[in-house]
Amino acid sequence: MPISYFWSREFLMNRKFLWLLFWVNLLGTIYGYIWYGNQLELTLEENPLWQIVFVPDSPTASLFFTLSLLYMLYPPTSESRLVSVIRQLIEGLAIVCSVKYGIWAVAMIVAGGWQGSEIVWEHYMLSVSHLGMALEVLLYARFMKAEPWAVTIGAAWLFINDTVDYTYGVFPWLAEPLYDDLPAIRNFTYGLSLFSFVAALVSVRLRKKE
């Protein structure tokens, strides 16, 4: 069996495999919101309510991808404009958010370890799962319906999220040594949003050429 089989339509769109991915991502999403529990509580206590939506970045990204998998398992039968727009928005957000936060989380773990923060087994688990987020969404982008306009809105959401995070201090909690490098992390985060937008656009363009 050639290795290319594992990124072929036959393999990736197999319903059993899609269901496996769905449950893995759903459970990962739930775990992610639990992981953010303390920060969510603190944000509710000390910040305006509207900022709460900008706190749990990675689990929200995986939630969008989980919903995208449902669209693949149960394609909408309605051809209405509204149904199409909602699906494309969710998929556009899934692509840009999963690429960005999958890479961002691993970069912060590596940066923290480089500066002396203790790396424990959970960090390795998070690194593997977040890299998987970025990889799986790029593999499945060609099966999604998202058009460039939806990807652009997704990217706009990323830049708004970055601005809120670093203006009001609701960015994900970092390893202690990294707080001295907050301006550099902010710039890296904005740059990664731009990279994710470009990667998403390329994935959509390549789909159209198939």
Q: Give tens-digit pLDDT for 26-70.
A: 999 999 999 999 999 999 999 999 999 999 999 999 999 999 999
**Residues written for the chain:** 210
Looking at residue 176, what is its pLDDT? 93
* DSSP H stretches of helix in the chain: 9-12, 15-35, 37-46, 57-73, 81-114, 121-140, 148-168, 182-209
CA–CA separation, 70 vs 88, rounded Å?
13
Round to the nearest angstrom and report the end-to-end CA distance of the chain.
Answer: 23
Looking at residue 9, what is its pLDDT? 83
Looking at residue 6, what is its pLDDT? 73
Low pLDDT (below 50) residues in the chain: none
CA–CA separation, 112 vs 124, rounded Å?
13
